[in-house]
Structure 1
Amino acid sequence: MAACSRMRAALLGSAAFLFPIQSLAQDTLLAPIIVESKREVATDTAAPVTTIDQREIDDRQAGTIAELIDSVPGVTLMNGSTPSGSGINIRGFGANGTYGTDGMVLIQVDGATQGAEELYRLGTQLYTDPALYKEVEVGRGTVGSFEYGSGVIGGRVQLRTKDASDFTGGVPGWAGRQTLEFGSNGDGITSSSILAWQPTEDLEFLGQYVWRDQDRQDDGDGNWTGGEAFTLRSALLKGKYTFGAAKDQAVTLSWNDSDTPERDVPYDMMGLGAGSFGNVDRDVKMQTAILLYEWDPASALIDLEANLSRSRQKIDSTYILGSSPNDQGMALGDADHDTTTTKLTVKNTARFAAGGDHTLRTGFEVIDRDRVSASSAPGGTDKRFALFAVDDVEIGRWTISPSLRYETQKLETSEAAIGTFGTEFDNDALMGGISARYAFDNGVAVFASVAHTELLPILDDYTAAGLANGWMNQSQAARSWELGASYGGGDLFAAGDAFAIKGNLYRTDIRDMTTYSGIEQVEMKGLELEAAYSLESGFYTDLNLNITEGDQFVTAQGDWNYWSNAAADRLRLTVGQRFGDELDLSWEAVANARFDRVNPTTFMGVTTPGVETPGGVVHNIRASYTPQSGVLAGTELRLGVENLFDRDYRPRLATRDAAGRNIKFTIAKAF
């Protein structure tokens, strides 16, 4: 009840904060407002989406993709300071203590779907370097997901790699950038080398190599956090050719490759097995190849993209004899995992007027996922075909966005049939939703949406229990509702100031649950708030808030209790000052509420209370200096201090302590 009261109070407070602004604004239609802060608030859409651009990527000095996006409301990390044993949780779904993902969070690189399904205690398996990317878009919930995939219940993470023209400015010639970064906690060192060449205005090439090395990190008390040392090597090769009489066609070819060698490390990267699984030598490799064709002629009805991608994740593991009691972890330790996903996405955007101004995106996808059999993961193929349509219709001040996705699936397992159930299964699902947004003429907008999606079965359900329960032919259905408001305006409290705020209230219900043993249904609800304010003097502030709670229906008990993967309430506040284009200073506070919605546990007839997670505040400071003239022109210097006061804590959902104070220094030079 306390959590419900907090949510209602926060919702009423945010609504009271939003709508009185209506009287302050002018009665004429406002031009787009740009707030000069760390991050833009997406007030122009009903979708709960946050974009992290190149400036913020550089500013955050993240060592992993997980660390890069944990500042987004609704996103919570399970660990996160290392690629191994970490995971991403969005709105209570995604990573958990057993698997790095539950299939309800979609991760894509330039449109290519990444990762495998339920690999036991290995984390999210997103072994790629944040330095390769110029933009990350995080969409929370199901709204806005149907042109990207099915079963997106928690949310989606879409990463976009750098282009040569980002450095050449579209002008023929050579350009480059060398970056060195150092971290005090774990003696981290990173080198990123970029070379861009544009021989003509129509042809461009980019090559990038990133080497990141980090030793074991200490927590705030000076003890090892439990995360292993790692070396991550990543490379990106990318070329683009623009052609046609009107230069309206383009072909892009890219190759993204990352590998991580690990020697004599625990098989269980979550740190929950107390050494019972033993140690392994492990090599993790991720490869993504993409061929993109674009055609945008002088026609409002044609804006075509065809994206053919192939992503492969290969994990070779060798068990170290004698590292577990009676070598009981040998079967898991010697399991090699190899998953390849080939996907063709063809999408067209048509713009026309018919009872309103339409932006209609239609397309189809052909997906073929092939997984080699391992002792802990059934092998086989997952072949899918999908049709989708999303239409943004502007009618006066209204924007109505209906969306549909129809997806068929054929599962074929390479495992021997269990009993008489067979090895081939066919499924399909019709999904969709609709959102509506009304924009007043003073910067205020209100919106609402409803969406239904289905998570189709996966190969991991091919077990005796899964077959007996019919899981290979059972989708997990989720329905979500959202309600929110936004405001964007300027000259409110001082001449030249800018302010943006957006709040989303959501509820997600999942039924026919098969991913979590013994759980039939899950209900999640929450409030997400994003705000940004800036002055012409260079002062800025950003704020985001996440309040959430969840419940699960337990089959054995025939009753509801707390959802075990819900995150703690969190408030993040950044205050900064820019001095022209050269100096940027900021302070960030991250406050996590105490999490006490935990279930008691019973073992051998003895019931004990659940373990609560204490609340607290972590402080980070950042400074960047970019000289505009003189001998240092083209050089960027950054200093960041994470966990400034060296606090010892373990975040909610994490399986190991957070890193203590970490001083990071970055120097980058463009040439």
Structure 2
Amino acid sequence: MTFRTTRARLCASTAALITVGVASGAFAQDPTEDYLGEIVLGEGKRAVQTDTAIPVTVVDQDEIEDRQAGTIAELIDTVPGVTLVNGTTAAGSGINIRGYGANSTYGTDGKVLVQIDGATKGSEELYRIGSQLYTDPFLYREIEVLRGTVGSFEYGSGVFGGVVRLETIDARDLTRGELGFVGRQTLDFSTNGNGLASSTTLAWQPDEQFEVLFNYTRRQLGVRTDGDGNQINPDAGDIDDPSGLLKARYTFGAGNDQFVEFSYTKTQQEQFDVPYDQFGTTPFGNVDRYIENEVATLRYNYNPGDVAWLNVTAELLYSDELVESEAINGPNALLDADNRYRTTTFRVKNEALFSTGAIDHELRTGIEFIQRERSDATAGSAPGGTKDALAFYAVDEMQIGDRWTITPALRYENQTITQDPLNGNAKYDKDALMGGVSARYAFGNGWAVFGSASYTENLPIIDDLDDAVFIGQSEQGRSYEIGVAYDSVDVFRSGDSLAFKVNYYNDHLTDLTTYVGRPATETVTAVDREGIELEAAYAMENGYYIDANAHISKGTAYRENSLTAPVGDWYQNPQDNLRLTLGRKFSDELDLSWEVEAAKRYDEGGTVSPGFGVHNLRATYVPQNGVLEGSTIRFGVENLFDKTYQPRLSTRNATGRTFKVTLSTTF
């Protein structure tokens, strides 16, 4: 499919999706901000990142609160290219980006990278269990989603789908830099499943050098129902998830040019007599399950204001993910398997600003030492072992005059996988050099064009220890992107603002080892995917705003690396979809919005996923004076018309109509 035909499909699909959404009577969602340079145009739900060639979306704290989401996955499902696999609970949900990531067999396929405060999370191929992103939205101030490969080299290798980066809340988010003590209490209620969440945050800043924050969140949720009133996964039982965050920062040195920061998060979950298969596709039997997720980070930064080439950060990061299972009806090798990942990372990175003639550089370099330990889960379902990796990266963002920005990036990674001593003493070494380049040209009138080319390798994983071929084989991916962006003010009338970004991508993956036997009768070793992503925001001076994003794509799978023998359509192809938000803000006090999510019918290769349209209503009231000053009241209705539908890639129906109320006060 050429770029011209893809663009034509975008126009046709957008019109069709709007028709589906309005005619079906149902509704959706939205998010953003930025990491590589922030442009905030208008006053809608999300800002479009028009000043970078990287396809990036940022969900800021205002939007995290506005979304009233119960899981991290639900916070990012309106980012173009992001599809959820059973997004209602953390344990059974997964994140899929551009057709890679979670699927009905694994909570992830290793091609979507997740980081919390810089610490890498997630399993490699954890069988029939969700994404392992067990944590609560109340703990976070910002979520950044980088789609595709080109912006990933600072964070890891093998990123074919994208990167999800989460940053926890800081004390200064509450204190606003003022000395003293600030607290925030939030209560969240939802009707579908009788959900209840309580979040208590305490922040203290005794002086300008020291700040500390503590958060405790507890979320309870019963069994939800779909639009027909049928229970969704009734055997899973109730969810009771406590989460906590402790974070402190001490600033010191000449001109406060240094700081030391520590953060620790922990989330727990217990389930009793629930199916081992969290996707609900195969009746293996029931288990008692205990899940624990911990992240600890220690960070030091030195940034002397008079030395532009020095802004160095040293980080020690630790992640511990534990899933314990115990079979209900006696011993069972699969059901009794405990899965545990412990990842330790030491990273030193620097950001240097300098000029060479007419070129201004922002050079980001780093070195990482990574050790991942996977406990042996018995029965060969999840072989244990250790992966030791050493990585270097360099990303040079070069500004040439006022028009050109060219950013080459390189990453070298070497790893050694060592078998668990219980099973042997085999060792396997592998390394790879990967990288890419992006370019952006700004015309000076609000318009810009951009493009990129990148190559990455997904090095062998611990899961491949039992396969003599796969343990020595890297998965390889090449990606090309091209797009156009526009941002300006006073476009149609005085005081308005318009920003949009359209991005076309074309991926080719080869030497794949992840998808053996999927589909069941085939071995998929190569995949071609292409698509278009659209983000747009328009706002007027009187408070009205429109936010929109869309994603259309297609993909083809091949066997034995033969591009002349396609298996058929890629079984993880998402539905084409459109999300639209219409709203109005009445100063800083009241925000009312209506959202629609529309998905086009998918019927490629004999697989049918019906189209749907779902509608949501949201209202946020922030009193500016009186006894309620300092409080926020949020009201939402999701799936307004109680539609029954099952998004493509999910194994269960989505949640029916849900009323949500959130009360928050700062003291």
The equivalent position to 1:253 in structure 2, one of 262, 269, 274, is 262
Measured after TM superposition, the shift of residue 566 of structure 1 is: 0.9
Residue 308 of structure 1: which of 291, 316, 324 is its match? 316
1:246 aligned counterpart, secondary structure: helix
Query: 2:418 is matched by which residue type in structure 1?
Result: E
Alignment partner, residue 70 of structure 2 = 63
**Structure-2 change in CA distance of 1:553 and 1:192 (3 Å):** same
Given the alignment, which residue of 183, 188, 212 partners 2:190? Answer: 183
In structure 2, the residue matched to 1:234 is 243
3-state DSSP of counterpart to 2:333 = helix
Q: Structure 1 residue 33: deviation in Å?
A: 5.8
Q: Displacement of 1:5 after TM fit?
A: 4.5
Q: Distance in 2 between matches of 1:655 and 1:405?
A: 37
2:126 is matched with which residue? Answer: 119
What is the alpha-carbon distance in structure 2 between the residues aligned to residue 515 and residue 335 of structure 1? 21
- Cα distance change on mapping 1:102 and 1:415 into 2, 3 Å: farther
Deviations 1:62-113 (A, max 9, x none): 0000001001000000011001121000000000111000000000001000
> 1:417 & 1:253 partners in 2: Cα distance?
37
Kept after mapping to 2: 8 A contact 1:33/1:498: no
- Measured in 1, the distance between the counterparts of 2:4 and 2:277 equals 36
Aligned twin of 2:150: 143
Give CA deviations for 1:416-473 in whole Å, capped at 9, x if unaligned. 668xxx710000000000011000110100001000000000011122xx21xx2111
**Residue from 33, 46, 49 that aligns with 1:42:** 49
- Specify the alignment match of 1:649 in structure 2: 645
1:432 alignment partner AA: G
213 and 149 in structure 1: CA distance in 2 versus 1, 3 angstrom threshold: same
Q: What secondary structure sits across from 1:343 in the alignment?
A: strand
Structural RMSD (CA): 1.8
Equivalent residues in 2 for 1:502-651, closer than 5 Å:
502-517=501-516, 518-555=523-560, 558-598=565-605, 610-651=606-647
Q: Which amino acid aligns with 2:293?
A: M
Residue 237 to residue 611, structure 1, CA distance change in 2 (3 Å) = same
Residue type at the aligned position of 1:278:
G
In structure 2, the partner of 1:474 is 473
Contact 1:226–1:657 (Cα < 8 Å) also in 2: no
- Show the 5 A alignment for 1:410-425: 410-414=416-420, 423-425=426-428
2:364 equivalent to 1:361: yes
Q: CA deviation at 1:267?
A: 0.5
Looking at structure 2, the residues matched to 411 and 371 of structure 1 have their Cα atoms a distance apart, in angstroms, of 11
Q: Which residue does the alignment assign to 1:95?
A: 102
Could you say which residue in structure 2 is the equivalent of 1:271? 280
* Aligned-partner Cα distance in 2 for 1:366–1:569: 40
C-alpha displacement at 1:305, in angstroms?
A: 1.1
Q: Verify: 1:438 aligned to 2:441, yes or no.
A: yes
Matched residues, percent identical? 52
Contact 1:416 1:423 in 2 (8 A): no
Deviations 1:595-628 (A, max 9, x none): 1113xxxxxxxxxxx3400001000110000000
- TM-superposed CA distance for 1:415, in Å, is 6.0
Relative contact order higher in (CA < 8 Å, ≥ 6 apart): 2
What does residue 402 of structure 1 align with?
408
The alignment partner of 2:334 has SS state of helix
Aligned to 2:459: 456
Matches within 5 A, 1:16-27: none
Partner SS, residue 370 of structure 2 = strand
Pair 1:567–1:415, CA change in 2 (3 A)? farther
- Partners of 1:639 and 1:33 lie apart in 2 by 25
- Per the alignment, in what secondary structure is the counterpart of residue 62 of structure 2? helix
Q: In structure 1, the residue corresponding to 2:262 is in which secondary structure?
A: strand
Call closer, same or farther: CA 1:11–1:406 in 2, change over 3 Å.
Answer: farther
Q: Is the 8 A contact 1:582 1:628 kept in 2?
A: yes
Question: Which structure 2 segments of 5+ residues have no match?
Answer: 15-37, 517-522
Task: Tell me, in whole angstroms, the C-alpha distance in 2 between the residues paired with 1:157 and 1:11.
Answer: 29
Q: Can you list the C-alpha shifts for 1:292-334, whole angstroms capped at 9, x where unaligned?
A: 1111102101011111100000111111016xxxx7xx21111
- 1:413 Cα offset (Å): 1.1
Question: What is the distance in 2 between the residues matched to 1:115 and 1:220?
Answer: 32
Change (3 A) 1:505 1:12: farther
Say if 1:7 and 1:562 are closer, same or farther in 2 by CA, change over 3 A.
farther
Deviation of 1:404 after TM superposition, in Å, equals: 0.2
| Residue matched to 2:348 | 346
Q: Determine the structure 2 residue equivalent to 1:153.
A: 160
Specify the code of the residue in structure 2 equivalent to 1:479: R
1:639 Cα deviation (Å)?
A: 0.4
CA distance in 2, matches of 1:225, 1:258: 24
Query: Could you say if the C-alpha distance between residues 32 and 101 of structure 1 is closer, same or farther in structure 2, counting changes exceeding 3 Å?
Result: closer
Q: CA deviation at 1:246?
A: 1.6
- Structure 1 residue ranges without an equivalent (≥5): 15-30, 599-609
Report the alpha carbon displacement of residue 245 of structure 1 after superposing the two structures with TM: 1.9
Partner of 1:602 in structure 2?
none
Counterpart-to-counterpart distance in 1, 2:269 and 2:158:
29
Alignment partner of 2:173: what SS? helix
Distance change in 2, residues 1:33/1:292 (3 Å): closer
For residues 230 and 131 of structure 2, the distance between their equivalents in structure 1, rounded to whole angstroms, comes to 25
How many angstroms does 1:338 deviate by?
Answer: 1.4
**2:104, 2:279 within 8 Å by CA — same for their partners in 1?**
yes
CA distance in 1, matches of 2:151, 2:127: 30
Which residue of 2 is the match for residue 83 of structure 1?
Answer: 90
Q: How does 1:298-337 map to 2 (within 5 A)?
A: 298-321=306-329, 330-337=332-339
Amino acid aligned to 1:205: V
- Give the whole-Å Cα distance in 2 for the aligned partners of 1:522 and 1:192: 43
Contact in 2 for aligned 1:11/1:527 (Cα 8 Å): no
Find 1:391's aligned residue among 382, 393, 396: 396
Asked if the contact 1:431–1:452 (Cα under 8 Å) also holds between the matched residues in 2, the reply is yes
The answer to whether residue 368 in structure 2 is matched with residue 372 in structure 1 is no
Deviation (angstroms), 1:527: 0.1
- Using the TM superposition, give the Cα deviation of residue 10 of structure 1 relative to its aligned residue in structure 2, in angstroms: 2.4
Q: Which residue number in structure 1 is paired with residue 287 of structure 2?
A: 280
**Equivalent position SS for 1:644:** coil
Partner of 1:18: none
Q: Distance in 2 between matches of 1:170 and 1:592?
A: 44
CA distance in 1, matches of 2:54, 2:307: 28
Structure 1 residues 251-282: Cα deviation after superposition (integer angstroms, max 9, x where no partner): 00111000001111110000000x2x111111
- Are residues 450 and 99 of structure 1, via their aligned partners in 2, closer, same or farther at CA, if it must alter by over 3 Å? same
Contact 2:6 2:531 (C-alpha < 8 Å) held by counterparts? no
SS state at 1:657 partner: coil
Deviations 1:502-542 (CA, angstroms, capped at 9, x unpaired):
00000111000001101110011000000000011000010
How far apart are the structure 2 equivalents of 1:543 and 1:562? Answer: 28
One-letter amino acid matched to 1:487: Y
Give the C-alpha shift of residue 560 in structure 1: 3.7
1:134: which partner in 2?
141
SS of aligned partner of 1:333:
coil
**Deviation (angstroms), 1:2:** 13
CA apart distance, 1:225: 1.4
User: 1:33 touches 1:489 (CA, 8 Å); kept in 2?
Assistant: no
CA 1:520–1:508 in 2, change beyond 3 Å: closer, same or farther? Answer: same
Is contact 2:590-2:620 (8 Å) kept? yes
Shift of 1:169: 1.1
Aligned residues: 629
Contact 1:251 1:292 in 2 (8 A): yes
Offset of residue 8 of structure 1: 3.3
Q: Distance in 1 between matches of 2:513 and 2:13?
A: 38
